[in-house]
Amino acid sequence: MSQKPSIPKGTRDFSPIEMARRNYIFDVIKKSFKKYGFQQIETPAMENLSTLVGTGGEESDKLIFKILNSGDYLAKVDKNAFSTQNSSIITHQISEKALHYDLTVPFARYVVQNQNDITFPFRRFQIQPVWRADRPQKGRYREFYQCDADIIGSDSLLNEVDLIKMIDDVFTELFQGKLNYSISINNRKVLSGIAEAVGEKNKLTDITVAIDKLDKIGVDKVLDELKEKNLSTESIQSLKPLFELQGNSTEKIMFLAGFLSCSEIGKKGIEELEFVFETLQKLGLKTAKVIFDPTLARGLGYYTGTIIEVKVENFPSITGGGRYDDLTGTFGLKNVSGVGISFGADRIYDVLLDNNLYPEFKGDSTQVLFTNQSSADESRFLPMLFALRDVGINAEIYTEQAKWQKQMIFADKKGVKYIVSANEKGETFMKSNDSTEKIPFKTINELISFITK
């Protein structure tokens, strides 16, 4: 052992069985995307750093993996900037590219660049890895796949309804009705309305960040945090009823409608929520439990309307999304609204594994193994091998003339279903993996019908 090989923190290798499971998840999601009229695109793994920074808020800027410029990257650094040792200034001088942090921002960039060729409303999906310089922990990786579906160029709330129905479809299939999950919905306009209604319009983020922690740290700590952020005692007092909200989603919405009656933007948010909930109620959902959660905030800076998050017990959110009214605005295309969601394939993988929800995968491995104990075997089996492959059966020959035992162990470990062998007289036999009975056969058609029966 010269040196111990390893991979970067938060990244993973995927074995054959893991890939089979991952592809199963991707296939289910992709099938739904297509069914709802989304078309696939792909964007580069790296973007210009300038298109990525400043779109998702300060927090996400910190988590962007930057790519060092090629060549003598230090030579171009401004000497004054260098001597300040200010990394954020120097960063932009030594790095002009970065790995994308999510798929929504590259998509917005794509839309602006290709606006003349796109017919709006545009439904696109994108399944690619994203990178975040985060600290790995449970369900959190530095390289992971997002499966994004976005509709851009439409204000209609029917899109929100469509996305939630699609979430229902995907998890109904993946969870097979055996696992509870909930789709939490809120609206940024409601959060703005709350800030406005308590007279702290400019403390919106402080309020939402604090509210978001309600179920984690409890009412008292949230109030403490608001005090620290210099909210007036009256404001905090008037926020209090929100923390004690009881009842189902409809009752909560009704309460907030009253609470926000003095705020235009708040009223708009309530209207939007009501539409989404009412429409979903009419259409019905297969397995999803949709709840209005006024404490749902979500950090990404660009959301302006509906926000969505899917949760399973004991896991961080497995799907998230929302509406953004002006994401393309930062790239020069105004007045284009979009809404989208992102399935976190890697977290879904962990959830399915934890709950034993993977179907048995058939046909992923070799179905038929031709044993090889002599060059006579090789010449007699090779034509059969290719004949099987030609009719679509996964088959291989053991390429070494090895001991029978070794070949059987190989077949067993690989999960091969059928074994073909010959004796010294040249008689050929086939058998299935779970029995020791060898059945003689003469023609390739006999073999095929045995395997495909």
Coil, helix or strand for 342? strand
Residue 414 lies near RNA (rule: CB under 7 A): no
Task: Decide whether 110 or 144 has the Cβ nearer to RNA.
Answer: 144
Shortest Å distance, C-beta 47 to RNA: 17
Shortest Å distance, C-beta 343 to RNA: 7
Per CB under 7 A, the list member of 33, 38, 110, 141 interacting with RNA is 141
Q: Which helix (H) or strand (E) holds 27?
A: helix 16-35
Residue 85 lies near RNA (rule: CB under 7 A): no
Task: Decide whether 328 or 342 has the Cβ nearer to RNA.
Answer: 342
DSSP labels for 392-451? T--EEE--S---HHHHHHHHHHHT--EEEEE-TT--EEEEETT--PPEEE-SHHHHHHHH
Shortest Å distance, C-beta 332 to RNA: 24
Encoded one letter per residue, x for contact with RNA by CB under 7 A and - for no contact, window 95-114 reads -------x------------
Residue 94 lies near RNA (rule: CB under 7 A): no
Query: Distance from CA of residue 432 to its chain's centroid?
Result: 39
Task: Decide whether 17 or 217 has the Cβ nearer to RNA.
Answer: 217
Shortest Å distance, C-beta 300 to RNA: 5
* Among 375, 385, 328, 320, CA closest to 347: 320
Residue 183 lies near RNA (rule: CB under 7 A): no
Task: Decide whether 67 or 254 has the Cβ nearer to RNA.
Answer: 67
Per CB under 7 A, the list member of 83, 215, 424, 453 interacting with RNA is 424
Other C-beta atoms lying within 10 Å of the C-beta of residue 264: 12
CA atoms within 13 A on the CB side of 154: 17
Residue 372 lies near RNA (rule: CB under 7 A): no
Residue 168 lies near RNA (rule: CB under 7 A): no
* Placement of tokens 């999510």 in the chain: 102
Shortest Å distance, C-beta 282 to RNA: 27
CA atoms within 13 A on the CB side of 344: 25
Residue 441 structure tokens: 């056969």
Shortest Å distance, C-beta 164 to RNA: 14
CA distance 58 to 184: 25
Encoded one letter per residue, x for contact with RNA by CB under 7 A and - for no contact, window 338-367 reads ----x-x-xx--------------------
Stretch that binds RNA, among 131-139, 164-172, 326-334, 439-447 (CB under 7 A): 131-139
Shortest Å distance, C-beta 117 to RNA: 27
Cβ atoms of residues 317 and 307 within 8 Å: no
Q: Which helix (H) or strand (E) holds 122?
A: strand 122-131
Residue 320 structure tokens: 């998230």
At a CB cut-off of 8 Å and minimum separation 6, what does 342 contact?
102, 103, 104, 146, 147, 148, 149, 319, 320, 321
Coil, helix or strand for 319? strand
Maximum C-alpha span of the chain = 97
Shortest Å distance, C-beta 261 to RNA: 29
At a CB cut-off of 8 Å and minimum separation 6, what does 309 contact?
183, 184, 293, 296, 298, 317, 319, 320, 321
Residue 305 lies near RNA (rule: CB under 7 A): no
Task: Decide whether 280 or 300 has the Cβ nearer to RNA.
Answer: 300
CA distance 328 to 165: 26
Shortest Å distance, C-beta 370 to RNA: 12
Residue 397 lies near RNA (rule: CB under 7 A): no
Q: Describe the strand order of the beta sheet including 306-312 as a list of residue ranges.
A: 39-40, 122-131, 143-152, 338-344, 319-324, 306-312, 181-187, 289-292
Residue 268 lies near RNA (rule: CB under 7 A): no
Q: Which amino acid is at 260?
A: L
Residue 334 lies near RNA (rule: CB under 7 A): no
Shortest Å distance, C-beta 357 to RNA: 17
Task: Decide whether 78 or 412 has the Cβ nearer to RNA.
Answer: 412
Task: Decide whether 263 or 295 has the Cβ nearer to RNA.
Answer: 295
Per CB under 7 A, the list member of 32, 55, 60, 263 interacting with RNA is 60
Residue 17 lies near RNA (rule: CB under 7 A): no
Residues of this chain that interact with RNA (CB under 7 A) are: 1, 4, 6, 8-10, 57, 59-60, 102, 132, 134-142, 144, 146, 209, 212-213, 216-217, 297-300, 309-310, 316-320, 342, 344, 346-347, 371, 373, 403-405, 408-409, 412-413, 419, 421-424, 431, 433, 435-436
